[in-house]
Amino acid sequence: MNETLRALLVASFEGDQRALEIDQFKTTAKRALLNSTADELANIFVLSSFLSGVCTSLDEKAWNLRETEGAFTNFLDGTLTRELSPLAFLGDSLRREPRKQLSKKANLIALTVSEIVRMQPADPLFQMFIRATMNEMDKLTRYESRYQTESEWFANSLYRAFDEMDRILGVDYAHDKNMKTDLNMKERLYEGAGIGVQTSYISVLLALEAIQPASGSSFIDLGSGYGRVGFVIGLLRPDMDFIGYEYVEHRVTHSQACADRAGLSEKVRFITQDLSARDFAIPVADVYYMYDPFSRETYEHVFAQLKKIGRERAITVVTKGRASGWFAETIRGEKWATEPMCDEGTLGIFKSA
């Protein structure tokens, strides 16, 4: 990591409250960040996001161990060589101040980086930064998922850690603001539900790690919302082709604009489509994804098409939420393999023979 940025991170944790006045911190950070390369920016953004996720777990641990002298320090010494080794350079600061200030400072750094990146001219730094960031996020996700199985303590610290990526990519859920709710509508369009009904960036990365799509694979998100799944695939796997079908037109226009700005137009497409329409056939692809998009009736219509495609060629279906149980039910008796659920049981993976 860039030494100036590393020093900045350490200083921000060591500094007393007054030295950390937000404006002063931002001025110093801005100077250091504006002189950084795209890779360095990606590195500091991902690390500070990781740190803010981890801080919640550390805070709880420090509280649980508060009555035993030296217990938290011993715990930290161990974890800094294993689960938390990417943060080893912050060891002294973490030992000195294990409680709440940490996540506040880490959030501040992540926020500052994203603000500065958004101020940059669009190219080439922006596109280099977002690609580098997605690669760093992927590395950290793999690292964390390995330790999650080995460590009793290491919870899913990254689950919401990268939500800030939305702001960097320009995703704005306020586009739902004037959306009219049609009470007779049979589909579930999640008006105004925003970030809470989009798959976490980490879950998309974990799904890709679990299914390992071959080079050149095609991927379809059925009900693509504000486009997160497509952004991850476009940035991390430029060899793949992505299509997201979404009922709500303004979400499609907005996610396509974000994808275009990110330099993904060639490989990432969002299309307005009601997937319950009987005159539309879902195209053949290698992987399909669904996060709770449909009414029961539309699920049946969509599942019937996926089963038909699955009888003719090998496909993978990744499901999140209620879609998992329903898809498992629908393929009972067919020649499909059900892989172990991934992402702490939130993602289902099904492969046709």
Ligand X SMILES: C[S@@+](CC[C@H](N)C(=O)[O-])C[C@H]1O[C@@H](n2cnc3c(N)ncnc32)[C@H](O)[C@@H]1O
Residues that bind ligand X (CB under 6 A): 187-190, 197-199, 221, 223-225, 228-229, 245-248, 251, 273-276, 291-294, 298
- Nearest Cα to Cα of residue 328 among 294, 305, 301, 351: 351
Smallest gap from Cβ 320 to ligand X, in A, equals: 7
- Phi and psi torsions of 291, nearest 5°: -115, 100
DSSP H helices, 228-337, are 228-236, 249-261, 296-312, 322-330
**Sheet of 347-352, strands arranged across:** 268-272, 241-246, 218-222, 287-291, 316-320, 347-352, 336-342
In this complex, which beta carbon is closest to ligand X, that of residue 275 or of residue 287?
Answer: 275
**Is the backbone peptide bond immediately before 124 cis, with ω within 30 degrees of 0?**
yes
Smallest gap from Cβ 120 to ligand X, in A, equals: 26
Smallest gap from Cβ 297 to ligand X, in A, equals: 10
Residue whose pair of structure tokens reads 């700005």 in the numeric block: 261
In this complex, which beta carbon is closest to ligand X, that of residue 45 or of residue 289?
Answer: 289
In this complex, which beta carbon is closest to ligand X, that of residue 252 or of residue 331?
Answer: 252
Smallest gap from Cβ 196 to ligand X, in A, equals: 9
The rounded distance, in Å, linking the Cα atoms of 185 and 296 is: 13
User: 252: exposed, middle or buried (C-beta count within 10 Å: 0-12, 13-18, 19+)?
Assistant: buried
Smallest gap from Cβ 141 to ligand X, in A, equals: 16
In this complex, which beta carbon is closest to ligand X, that of residue 278 or of residue 332?
Answer: 278
In this complex, which beta carbon is closest to ligand X, that of residue 247 or of residue 350?
Answer: 247
The residue number with the shortest CB distance to ligand X is 223
